[in-house]
């Protein structure tokens, strides 16, 4: 290729930014750089922050390129141009300033400010598309400049002869922040003005509300992955003002600028983790599928009991103590294929928030955590899609407008073709096995008008599993949500939600027609709630609401399968319960340093008939021999009622602009629990409502944390400590039978629990190299209480829970080699979980018996694993049919045989122990991703 053709694209790129310089006019704006308290040189981001705070200049650059650039400048007042010359003189950096006072910084590339002679008289030889990139950038700059240059009048105009508002005081402006390309809401966008220094953040709907003095303001907007923007406004009175934002600049190859980079410092919420889709895609997984729950498991304070487990143990809580929401509907089983995949399609996720402490008052019903997953609203402008093909799974997502700018639809499907792969194997038992799942997602958003928006969500999944046996497991989730958001005033809006959540499983055995049988379980949940959000001032936010949830559980139905079966049917009576709550929460910024949040949730639960309740002899253990009577209750008759307050208190004190300390206390109540003989979530787990014999769980958690940011908020450090007590925990007697048990209270014992720990986190959020390192020390101990020895475990002493793992270390690292190639490396270490082992053998009436150790006295070997992945992007042409990427990963790089469980077999008169490993060798995977 001729040399001119090679340099032409770069030349056009640079001249596109040089064109505005032809019309540039000098500015007299001056800036003073604050003196440093130490002789250490300034960092370039600190200089940028000072300049942008004192002038109207705005900077665009790659943070990774200037990450290590030291700056030594005079603190005296000087012009911005003089300052830049002083900084970059003799360096490899170049800069240019356009007519809108935007400063572009590039490394080594020269920014040309003049076009070559004769450029407009004709294109260079052989340059058939010489203006394509230039036109694109020019149109993008022009499109962006138009809303920023314009002045918007908000409210009813009332001014004097000098164009000043005649009414003093303050007014409220509210509206939605949306993506200009798709029309989707921008969540977590920071909106603020410098004088007076006032700001707010858009919520999950993209809605914001801010109160300002009447008059002129320069409103600035920032958001993750979006281009910084501003709006010049004249505020006359309360009114609505919607804002559109663009995706981040492509041509300058910027690292994503995060809104509210100091959120962990300035925010009041503690124990909260926000997971973005970028993090989900970067963490390598066993079979190449991007997995939300795998990312959550890498966070401090979150553990699992072993490989292929998607159940979460958060700060000493059991897996049933987590409320997992998908667009406000409860997900009861969050995994596919016994934990190898999570239930969430990554292409559908807009945001995910995990609350480990200080849960907002609007959430209730679980002791340990809330995982709130929200789907994307869908593109309101045009039809687009994405998908991926891996070794075992494939997925496809489509989104687009039904009515342009008003109604959008997003739909996704994901499935596995592992059955086909199993049939290709030589092993006959594998060929007869089955392992398949699918999930379907549908979400519709309809904006009726500026004050009313409706949302409809549907989700369905189904799993079928059989591994070289005659037993087939099937389980499925279904959810449906209808939501209506109504803006009442500029300071008050409401959200009315109706949802359905269902989960059921069945286990069938058909090997012998005479003994062929099926076992079914089902839980159905119906919920209605109304939430209100009120913003009286910028420093004050109130949320309140009411909710009611109806539970219907079929604990088990056992029956024959086929006409030849001789199985005798057995049915455990159904259960019904009604849980209602009312709540109010108040967040108040006392000063720029001190913020307080106080909330109260009052819950009321009733166990409903029809039901028959056994009565046991007072002061005696609950055994079949101690049943004295049976009480029968009719339909909807109140059998037992539990109620009580749930307190939520948080406080934050800012030590400086880069450091703060926070503390919180919350009480939670849980009226439904899971019964399981396994340490991980299993399809055959049973959910049980609180009744006259099984009381609701109550948890109190105290937490305190210290947070510090460095390097212009690009390095976050934090340490959090917590102490939690739990009442009415359920543990099991030895040899407990949980399936088809009409008197489950005879096989469980009441326990109290205590959990405490400390969590350390260091996170780097910008630059080519980013990621986080976390360490957690935590203990979870249980102790049983009861009137008889048969209800006491370990002689009433404290013993570790089955998921007590004191030490946990996780390293997540990502390195962006260039725009197309990136690498990820993960390392995880944790203490082995506790187990109970046989320690000796004895004979009773001539028959051998095993004597077991104290409950959870021993531990399986420690767990550690290393993973690596590489992501290869396609070319970054602006206009192409589809964009694609390849993800190549190796899970368990070192091939370590981590113990999942330990079991024992009697062989030739001896009891031998065996260790089960799920992944005992490196697992490579390749995934092809595309979007169009």
DSSP bridge partners of 909: none
What pLDDT does 7 receive? Answer: 38
3-state secondary structure of 120: helix
* Residues 667, 586 share a domain: yes
SS3 letters across 391-430: CCEEEEEEEEEEECCCEEEEEEEEEECHHHHHHHCCCHHH
* Residues 506, 614 share a domain: yes
Show Cβ contacts of residue 161 under 8 Å, excluding neighbours closer than 6 positions. Answer: none
What pLDDT does 434 receive? Answer: 79
Angstrom distance (rounded) from CA 217 to CA 195: 8
What pLDDT does 15 receive? Answer: 34
CB 658 within 8 A of CB 671: no
DSSP E strands in 203-303: the ranges are 207-213, 215-222, 229-235, 239-240, 243-245, 272-275, 302-303
Taking every pair of C-alpha atoms in the chain, what is the biggest distance, in angstroms? Answer: 109
Taking the mean position of all CA atoms in its chain, how far away is CA 886? 24
What pLDDT does 102 receive? Answer: 82
Angstrom distance (rounded) from CA 672 to CA 682: 17
* Residues 601, 466 share a domain: yes
**Least confident window among 123-127, 426-430, 613-617, 790-794:** 123-127
Tell me the DSSP string of 320-373.
GGEEEEETTEE-S--EEGGGTEES--GGGEEEEEEESSS--TT--S-SSEEEEE
Specify if 591 maps to a domain.
yes
Tell me which DSSP letter residue 165 carries. B
Angstrom distance (rounded) from CA 58 to CA 584: 41
Tell me which DSSP letter residue 2 carries. -
Higher pLDDT pick, 652 / 254: 652
Reply yes or no on whether the pLDDT at 348 is more than 70.
yes
CB 63 within 8 A of CB 45: yes
* Residues 294, 255 share a domain: no
Q: What CATH number corresponds to the domain at position 213? A: 2.60.40.1120
Reply yes or no on whether the pLDDT at 360 is more than 90.
yes
* Residue given tokens 């009332």 in the structure block: 158
* Residues 700, 820 share a domain: yes
Q: Identify the top-confidence range among 262-271, 389-398, 664-673, 917-926.
A: 664-673
* Residue given tokens 């994901």 in the structure block: 414
Q: Identify the top-confidence range among 181-195, 246-260, 265-279, 547-561.
A: 547-561
* Residues 485, 343 share a domain: yes
Both tokens of residue 907?
């062989």
* Final residue before a domain boundary, out of 143, 170, 203: 143
Specify if 545 maps to a domain.
yes
DSSP bridge partners of 477: 461, 503
* Final residue before a domain boundary, out of 110, 143, 176: 143
Number of domains in the chain: 3
3-state secondary structure of 682: coil
Specify if 267 maps to a domain.
no
Confidence of residue 5 (pLDDT cuts 50, 70, 90): very low
* Residues 173, 57 share a domain: no
Q: What CATH number corresponds to the domain at position 472? A: 2.40.170.20
Note down the domain range covering 196.
150-260
CB 58 within 8 A of CB 52: yes
CB 227 within 8 A of CB 258: no
CB 9 within 8 A of CB 133: yes
3-state secondary structure of 131: coil
What pLDDT does 250 receive? Answer: 41
CA 820-825-829 angle, to 5 degrees, is: 165
Reply yes or no on whether the pLDDT at 74 is more than 70.
no
Specify if 695 maps to a domain.
yes
Q: What is the pTM of this model?
A: 0.80
Mean pLDDT of all residues in 314-328: 94
CB 723 within 8 A of CB 756: yes
Specify if 852 maps to a domain.
yes
* Residues 628, 733 share a domain: yes
Specify if 287 maps to a domain.
yes
* pLDDT tens track for 7-27: 334 333 333 333 333 333 445
Show Cβ contacts of residue 715 under 8 Å, excluding neighbours closer than 6 positions. Answer: 709, 762, 763, 764, 765
What pLDDT does 725 receive? Answer: 97
Reply yes or no on whether the pLDDT at 254 is more than 50.
no
* Residues 604, 675 share a domain: yes
* Residue given tokens 């949730």 in the structure block: 601
* Final residue before a domain boundary, out of 211, 226, 260: 260
* pLDDT tens track for 422-481: 776 666 666 677 788 999 999 999 999 989 999 999 999 999 888 766 788 899 999 999
Within the chain, how many helices (H) and strands (E) appear?
9, 59
Angstrom distance (rounded) from CA 789 to CA 620: 11
**Least confident window among 183-187, 351-355, 840-844:** 840-844
CB 42 within 8 A of CB 72: yes
807-816 vs 821-830, strand pairing mode: antiparallel
Q: Report the mean per-residue pLDDT for the chain.
A: 83
Q: Identify the top-confidence range among 137-151, 812-826, 906-920.
A: 812-826
* Residues 643, 522 share a domain: yes
* Residues 498, 385 share a domain: yes
Helix (H) or strand (E) holding 281: helix 277-282
Specify if 502 maps to a domain.
yes
Tell me which DSSP letter residue 491 carries. T
Torsion of CA 201, 202, 203, 204, to 10 degrees: -130
**Least confident window among 79-88, 109-118, 219-228:** 109-118
Angstrom distance (rounded) from CA 201 to CA 758: 30
Specify if 265 maps to a domain.
no
Helix (H) or strand (E) holding 654: strand 638-656
* pLDDT tens track for 190-206: 888 887 888 888 888 88
What pLDDT does 407 receive? Answer: 94
Reply yes or no on whether the pLDDT at 549 is more than 50.
yes
* Residues 154, 133 share a domain: no
Q: What CATH number corresponds to the domain at position 11? A: 3.55.50.30
């Amino acid at each position: 290729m001729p040399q001119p053709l090679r340099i032409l694209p770069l030349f056009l790129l640079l001249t596109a930014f040089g064109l505005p310089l032809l019309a540039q006019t000098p500015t007299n704006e001056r800036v003073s750089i604050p003196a440093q308290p130490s002789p250490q040189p300034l960092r370039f981001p600190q200089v940028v922050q000072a300049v942008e705070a004192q002038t109207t200049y705005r900077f665009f650059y790659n943070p990774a390129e200037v990450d290590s650039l030291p700056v030594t400048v005079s603190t005296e007042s000087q012009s911005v141009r003089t300052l830049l010359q002083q900084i970059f003189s003799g360096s490899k950096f170049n800069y240019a300033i356009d007519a809108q006072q935007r400063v572009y910084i590039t490394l080594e590339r020269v920014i040309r400010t003049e076009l070559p002679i004769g450029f407009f008289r004709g294109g260079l030889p052989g340059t058939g598309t010489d203006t394509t990139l230039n036109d694109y950038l020019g149109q993008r700059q022009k499109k962006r400049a138009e809303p920023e240059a314009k002045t918007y009048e908000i409210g009813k105009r009332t001014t004097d002869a000098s164009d000043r508002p005649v009414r003093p005081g303050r007014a409220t402006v509210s509206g939605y922040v949306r993506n200009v390309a798709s029309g989707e809401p921008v969540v977590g966008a920071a909106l603020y003005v410098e004088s007076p220094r006032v700001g707010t953040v858009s919520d999950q709907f993209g809605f914001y509300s801010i109160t300002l003095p009447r008059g002129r303001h320069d409103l600035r907007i920032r958001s993750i992955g979006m281009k910084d923007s501003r709006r010049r406004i004249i505020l006359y009175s309360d009114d609505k003002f919607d804002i559109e934002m663009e995706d981040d600049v492509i041509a300058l190859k910027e690292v994503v600028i995060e809104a509210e980079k100091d959120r962990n410092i300035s925010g009041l919420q503690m124990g909260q983790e926000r997971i973005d889709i970028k993090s989900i895609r970067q963490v390598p997984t066993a079979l190449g599928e991007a997995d939300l729950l795998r990312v959550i498991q890498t966070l401090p304070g979150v553990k699992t009991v072993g490989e292929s487990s998607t159940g979460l143990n958060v700060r000493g809580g059991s897996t049933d103590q987590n409320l997992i929401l998908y667009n406000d509907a409860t997900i009861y089983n969050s995994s596919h294929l016994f934990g190898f995949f999570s239930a969430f399609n990554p292409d559908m996720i807009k945001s995910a928030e995990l609350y480990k402490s200080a849960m907002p008052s609007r959430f209730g019903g679980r002791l340990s955590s809330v995982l709130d997953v929200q789907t994307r609203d869908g593109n309101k402008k045009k039809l687009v899609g994405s998908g991926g093909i891996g070794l075992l799974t494939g997925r496809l997502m489509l989104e687009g407008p039904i009515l342009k700018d008003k109604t959008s639809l997003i739909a996704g499907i994901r499935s596995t073709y592992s059955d086909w792969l199993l049939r290709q194997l030589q092993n006959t038992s594998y060929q007869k096995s089955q392992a398949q799942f699918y999930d379907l997602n549908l979400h519709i958003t309809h904006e009726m008008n500026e004050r009313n928006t409706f949302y409809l969500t549907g989700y369905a999944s189904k799993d079928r599993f059989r591994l070289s046996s005659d037993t087939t497991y099937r389980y499925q989730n279904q959810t449906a949500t209808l939501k209506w958001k109504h803006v009442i005033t500029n300071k008050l809006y409401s959200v009315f939600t109706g949802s359905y959540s269902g989960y059921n499983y069945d286990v069938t055995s058909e090997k012998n027609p005479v003994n062929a049988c099926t076992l079914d379980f089902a839980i159905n949940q119906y919920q209605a709630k109304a939430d209100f959000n009120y913003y009286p001032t910028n420093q004050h936010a109130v949320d309140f609401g009411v909710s009611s949830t109806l539970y219907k559980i079929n604990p088990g139905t056992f029956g024959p399968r086929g006409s030849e079966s001789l199985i005798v049917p057995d049915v455990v009576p159904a259960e019904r319960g009604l849980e209602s709550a009312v709540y109010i929460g108040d967040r108040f910024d006392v000063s720029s340093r001190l913020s307080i949040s106080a909330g109260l949730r009052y819950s009321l639960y009733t166990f409903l008939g029809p039901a028959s309740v056994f009565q046991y002899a007072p002061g005696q253990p609950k055994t079949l021999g101690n049943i004295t009577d049976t009480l029968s209750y009719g339909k909807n008759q109140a059998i037992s009622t539990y109620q009580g307050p749930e307190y939520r208190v948080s406080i934050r004190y800012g030590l400086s602009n880069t450091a703060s300390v926070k503390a919180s206390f919350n009480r939670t109540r849980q009226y439904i629990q899971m019964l399981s003989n396994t340490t991980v979530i299993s399809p055959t787990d049973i959910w049980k409502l609180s009744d006259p014999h099984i009381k609701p769980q109550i948890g109190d958690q105290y937490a305190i944390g210290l947070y510090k940011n460095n390097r212009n908020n690009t390095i976050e450090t934090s340490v959090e400590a917590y102490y939690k007590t739990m009442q009415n925990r359920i543990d099991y007697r030895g040899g407990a039978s949980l399936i088809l048990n009409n008197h489950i209270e005879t096989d469980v014992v009441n326990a109290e629990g205590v959990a405490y720990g400390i969590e350390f986190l260091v996170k780097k959020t910008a630059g080519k190299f980013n990621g986080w390192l976390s360490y957690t020390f935590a203990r979870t101990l249980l102790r049983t209480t009861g009137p008889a020895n048969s209800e006491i475990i370990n002689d009433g002493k404290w013993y570790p829970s089955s998921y007590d793992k004191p030490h946990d270390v996780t390293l997540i690292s990502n390195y962006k080699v260039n725009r197309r190639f990136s690498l990820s490396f993960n390392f995880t270490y944790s203490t082995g979980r506790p187990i109970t082992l046989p320690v000796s053998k004895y004979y009773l009436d001539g028959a051998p018996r095993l004597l077991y150790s104290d409950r959870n006295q021993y531990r399986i070997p420690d767990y550690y694993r290393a993973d690596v992945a590489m992501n290869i992007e396609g070319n970054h042409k602006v206009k192409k049919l589809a964009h694609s990427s390849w993800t190549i990963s190796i899970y368990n790089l070192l091939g370590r045989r981590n113990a999942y469980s330990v079991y024992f077999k009697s062989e030739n008169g001896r009891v031998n122990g065996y260790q089960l490993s799920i992944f005992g060798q490196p697992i490579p995977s390749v995934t092809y991703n595309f979007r169009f």
